[in-house]
A and B are shown apart, each in its own frame.
Chain A
C-alpha cells in the first residue's frame, strides 16, 4: 500500500508546530500502525532527517504509552484497542492519514506526537491509593468481597492511564480516567476508609490540572482501549455529591 501521512511535527514544548506530509510506500496490511511509523522513521533517518517522535512501550495494549490521534480519533478507528493494536488493514491503498498528538492544556506537547501526561500521576498521588501499614500479609480470605463488586472493581482497574478519554472529549475532561481510578478502590472493602476523601481529593487535583468538566457526551467510552464504562462516571458523581454534602 502507498499512504500519504500528514504528521504533526514540533521541535519542543515552546516551538510552534505544524503538519509535514510524508509519502510511505510498501505498507503491509499486517503491520501495526506503530510498525508503519517505525518503517517511516527508518526512511527519514536514512535521509539524514530527524525521525518522528512518538511514545510506545509494550506494543500490546497494556502499558498506555502509545498516544496518537489518527484521523481525528484517539487510538484511531475501531473500538477497544490502543494505537499499538491498530493494524494497517483498516486503511486502503492511497489513503491520506492525519496523525496528531493528544490535545489538552494539561497534556503539553513535548515533541512531535509525544505529550506530557504527568498530570495523571499527580491525580493518582492525590488519592489513587489505599493507606495500610505494611507487615505480614493478612490471610486474603478474611475479607469477603462480593463477586459482582470484585468484577466491577476489576473492570475499572483495567484502565491503563493512556489519556485517550481526555483526547477524545470535546472538553478535554479526564472524568473517565478519574472515575475508573476512584471506583476500582471505592468498590473494594480495603478502599472504604478513604472512599470520600479520595474522590474529593482526586477531583480537586483533576480540576487544578486544568482538565475540563464532563458533559456526558460519552466520547471517552467510545475510544477507550479498555472500554471503561461511563457507568463509573455516574458512580463518581454520586460519591462526590455525598462527599461534599455529608462528609465535608
Chain B
C-alpha cells in the first residue's frame, strides 16, 4: 500500500484517487437513474427489478462495498485537497475575473457536501426505511417488497419531492464538471477527442438531472398512479 500512501500525500495523487472514486460514483449514478426510470413501466417491472437485485446478495453486497469505499475515498481526498487548495491562497484577490472557470468548477466542494447530506437522507428514506416506515413495510400481491408504492407515496409529499428536486441541482453541477474532468485527471487529453470529452460532462449531467427529476414531478402531476386499478 505504499503507492496508496504516496498518492494520498501528493496533490496529483489525490486527483487520481478522487477521479477514480468519482468515476465509480458517476457510473453508479447513471445506472441508478436508468434503474429508477423503470417506475414508468409499472409496479410489476420495478418490483421485479428490486427483487432480482435482492436475489443476488453476493453481487449486491459487493457493489455496496465498492460504492461505500469509493464514497469514503472520494470524500476523504476531497476534504484533503480542498484544505490544501484553500491554504495556497491565504490572501484573496480584491477583484478576480475568471475567464473560463465555470460555476460548476468553482462549487465542487460545497456541492459535494450538499450531495453527501442528501445521500444520507436518501439512504434513510429508501434503503433503510427510517423516514417513512409505513411506506417501507408494504408488499405487493406477489409478496415482494413494494418499491413502487414506497416511491409514489413518498413523492406525493411535496416537501419530500422538493428535497429530491433541489438535490439534483448540485448533482447536475457536480457531474457537469466532474465527468469531463476525470478524463483530464487520467491523462486523456488529445485535440482529436477534446470536443467530445468536454461535452460529455454537460450531456451526462443533464440526462441524469432530467431523468431523476422527472420521477417526483410525474408523481406530483398524478402521472404515476397508486393504487393501480384494473390490474
A residues in contact (CB < 8 Å) with B: 6, 8, 19, 69, 71-73, 98, 100, 103-106, 168, 170-173, 175, 203-204, 206-207, 210-219, 221-223, 230-231, 233-238, 240-241, 244-245, 248
Interface size class, chain B: 35 or more
Kindly supply a per-residue 1/0 record for chain B positions 88-118, scoring 1 wherever the CB is within 8 Å of any chain A CB and 0 otherwise: 1111111111111110011010000000000
> A207 to nearest B CB, angstroms?
6
B185 within 8 A of A: yes
Once the chains bind, are A71 and B11 in contact (CB under 8 Å)? no
B residues in contact (CB < 8 Å) with A: 2-3, 6-7, 9-16, 81, 84-102, 105-106, 108, 177, 180-181, 184-191
Once the chains bind, are B3 and A217 in contact (CB under 8 Å)? no
Once the chains bind, are A214 and B94 in contact (CB under 8 Å)? no
Once the chains bind, are A238 and B187 in contact (CB under 8 Å)? yes
Once the chains bind, are A216 and B105 in contact (CB under 8 Å)? yes
Given A219-B101, A230-B189, A238-B187, residue A98 in contact with residue B95 (CB < 8 A): yes
Question: How far apart sit A231 and B188, CA to CA, in the bound complex (Å)?
Answer: 8
Once the chains bind, are A207 and B108 in contact (CB under 8 Å)? no
Given A237-B15, A237-B16, A244-B6, residue A217 in contact with residue B187 (CB < 8 A): no
Once the chains bind, are B105 and A212 in contact (CB under 8 Å)? no
Residue in contact with A173 in the complex, picked from B85, B93, B98, CB distance below 8 Å: B85
Question: How far apart sit A72 and B100, CA to CA, in the bound complex (Å)?
Answer: 13
Given pairs A71-B95, A212-B87, A238-B187, 16 additional interface contacts (CB within 8 A): A103-B92, A103-B93, A173-B11, A215-B15, A215-B108, A215-B181, A216-B180, A217-B100, A218-B100, A218-B101, A221-B100, A222-B100, A234-B186, A235-B189, A244-B13, A248-B3
Given A237-B184, A241-B16, A244-B13, residue A170 in contact with residue B106 (CB < 8 A): yes
